Amino acid sequence: MTNSDGGKDDEALKARLGRLSGQLGERNKRPDRTGNEVDVSASSTSRALSLGMRVISEFVGGVIAGGGVGWLLDKLFSTQPLFLIVFIGLGTATGFWNVYRMAAGSTGARGKDSK
């Protein structure tokens, strides 16, 4: 095998790889309900799942932390449901606030760049 044959094979493989990559890119785009093309590749799916898990953990973490603090304060001051109810409410509000900040942060960064 000579150098020139190897170079031709490499060029043919690169061209074929480019065509296949283009075809895969077209297959990963699907129109949504509004007619816009949406990327449905594995990386976009994994990013969406990652964001979903982060949203759930932020919300549930806020509720659990609030409930834990309320339960401890109820045990400390012997006021059974009072602090538990108050801090579960505060934990829920904190969870919603964290989810809101995540959603606003992803759109807010684009809005600042456009000024």
Sequence ranges of the domains in the chain? 1-40, 42-110
- CA–CA dist 114, 37 (Å, integer): 23
Which residue, chain included where needed, has tokens 């093309």?
37
Q: What is the pLDDT of residue 24?
A: 74
Measure the CA angle with vertex 72, ends 66 and 75; round to 5°.
140
Could you tell me if 40 and 61 are in contact, meaning their C-beta atoms sit under 8 angstroms apart?
no
Q: What is the pLDDT of residue 28?
A: 66
Q: What is the CA radius of gyration of the chain?
A: 26
Using one digit for the tens of pLDDT, what is the confidence trace for 56-115?
Answer: 999 999 999 999 999 999 999 999 899 999 999 999 999 999 999 998 886 655 555 544
Q: What is the pLDDT of residue 1?
A: 45
What are the structure tokens assigned to 92, written together? 């829920």
Asked whether residue 5 carries a pLDDT value surpassing 80, the answer given is no
Higher-confidence residue of 20 and 77: namely: 77
